[in-house]
Chains A and B, each alone.
Chain A
Amino acid sequence: MTYNKRLDGRKLDETRPIEAKVGIIERADGSAIFKIGQTIAYAAVYGPRNLYPKFMQDPQKGILRVNYNMMPFSGHGERVRPGGSRRAKEISMVTEKALLPVIDLSDFPNAVVDVFIELPQTDAGTRCAGICAAAMALADAGIMMKDLVSAVAVGCIDGTVIADLNYDEEAFEGKVADIPVAILPNSGEISLLQMDGEVSQENIKDAIELAKKVTKNIYEIQKQALKDKFKVGE
């Protein structure tokens, strides 16, 4: 049995519909929303601002602090217990590491830039949606960045490489691999690569190539969203 028709009828390399908007949280220094299908990620950036406790300060450059949070009734099935979890802590960490290569905080010694990612509704691909939203929010906050970051989850079901898995595909019975990839669109460098499940060597190569292709479109959407914020009135 091969998986050649997707559960929701998408093409193999087609993502769910994407919507992005910048500057949605008035009180934050920068903010963005990134929707991909049923998955919704909000990102709010505060700072650079002063950092306490003092031992966390870095006198050579500012630090980035990311907080990823899935809201209690956001997902499928069981309610997620509010507050941090081991999973949220890990995703916060990998998101931070995915964003760090592009941002330059050398002008802000001892300070911190806080990024809060909130997911009111989830349907797989949350860390990628979070990274996309956070990259836009950081740009909106006027942080020096050499590039944006675009991310997508690619995967492989029974030997078929597909883009942007939803929850049903992730939970598909059979051999499933879920591979979130974050890419710096201009240089093509990869800043996040994780995998869950199993794939063959050829499939993973194809999957990464597919991720590069798909993130190009995502980058265009992010770029447009940032430019639209300053569009001259109708």
Chain B
Amino acid sequence: MSKLLVKDKDIAVPGEALAEGMDYLPGNGTYREGDNIHAARLGLVNVDGRAIKIVPLTGRYLPKRGDTIIVKVQEIVMSGWILDTNSAYTAMLNMKDATSEFIQKGSDLTQYFSFGDYIICKIVNVTTQMLIDVTTKGPGLRKLRGGRVIKVNTNKVPRIIGKKGSMVSMIKQATGSRIIVGQNGVIWLEGEDPKMELLAVETINKIAEESHIAGLTDRIKEFLEQQTGKQIELRTEEGEPNDVQ
């Protein structure tokens, strides 16, 4: 007889037994030993029918194909740019993936992207050896000018974006800031005035800190309404780079 040893949404510690018996299936972040399923990392237990998985709460970004990330130019080489991805690995932006313009051999690549520039780009491919290729060809993908860049825990990014971008659009609406969230936990923002920009930063940090506590959206809405004195209506947005999840 199979038995679940933990509740859904519990915090599991590495090695902790989650379920007994073969009726449950081990998902991401878990492993089976004998008849039991154990947690393989720290995180929230998620029981979906018969499958048990662990939703990570901590840890650094692990690059995945299709992610839209914000990167910083670290180095310029013969064939393109080497980028800092806020993970253990650097990414490569090839000239042909950077622009549709013709680039003369041996020309100065800093005129496109220079050292220290932030770029919003999309991961095209990740090899098993973690060689990462990115592209800036696509809607919304470009160099980010002005504004400020902050870093948050990558595991909180889905909370910051919200369902169909509802959370981030709420912050944008309340503070009048432009915000772009990268899957790698790098966030770019630019407010119409410094005060509102700071409020947006504060709100994002608040979300990252309290994301595991229920009723997040309502709490953040209340916080923003109190801070700005404006009434906020919830809405989702489409067509922005943030929706590319």
Contact = CB atoms under 8 A, between A and B. Distances in A.
Given A104-B40, A107-B62, A145 B15 contact: yes
Contacts of B155: 142
B57 interface: yes
A147 B14 contact: yes
Interface in A170-185: 184-185
A47 B60 contact: yes
A142 B41 contact: yes
Contact of A30 (B31, B58, B212): B58
Interface string B84-106: 00011110000000000000000
Interface in A160-195: 184-186
Interface in A47-73: 47-50, 59, 62
A139 B14 contact: yes
Contact of B59 (A29, A49, A110, A111): A29
Q: Which of A59, A104, A185, A227 has the most CB of B within 10 A?
A: A227
A141 B31 contact: no
Main DSSP-derived SS at the A contact region: loop
A146 B11 contact: no
B38 A186 contact: yes
Interface size class of B (residues with CB under 8 A): 20 to 34
A227 B42 CA distance: 9
A184 B42 CA distance: 16
Contacts of A49: 60, 88
A107 B130 CA distance: 9
| Interface of chain B, main secondary structure | loop
Interface string B62-81: 10000000000000000000
Contacts of B17: 186
Given A109-B129, A110-B130, A226-B42, A147 B58 contact: no
B40 A141 contact: no
Contacts of B243: none
A191 to B, nearest CB: 13
B16 interface: yes
Nearest to B40: A144
Given A141-B59, A142-B56, A186 B41 contact: no
A217 to B, nearest CB: 15
Contacts of B129: 59, 109-110
B215 to A, nearest CB: 11
Contacts of B212: 230, 232
Interface string B28-58: 0101010000101111000000000000111
Contacts of A232: 212-214
B89 A148 contact: no
B154 to A, nearest CB: 9
Interface of B: 11, 13-17, 29, 31, 33, 38, 40-43, 56-60, 62, 87-90, 128-130, 155, 210, 212-214
24 contacts: A29-B59, A47-B60, A48-B87, A48-B88, A59-B129, A107-B62, A108-B130, A109-B128, A111-B89, A139-B42, A140-B42, A141-B59, A142-B43, A142-B56, A142-B58, A144-B29, A147-B14, A185-B15, A186-B17, A223-B13, A226-B11, A226-B13, A226-B42, A227-B13
Interface of A: 29-30, 47-50, 59, 62, 102, 104, 107-111, 139-148, 184-186, 222-223, 226-227, 230, 232-233
Given A186-B17, A227-B11, 20 more contacts: A47-B88, A48-B87, A62-B88, A110-B89, A139-B13, A141-B58, A141-B60, A142-B56, A142-B60, A146-B14, A146-B15, A146-B31, A146-B40, A148-B13, A148-B14, A223-B13, A223-B16, A230-B57, A230-B212, A233-B213
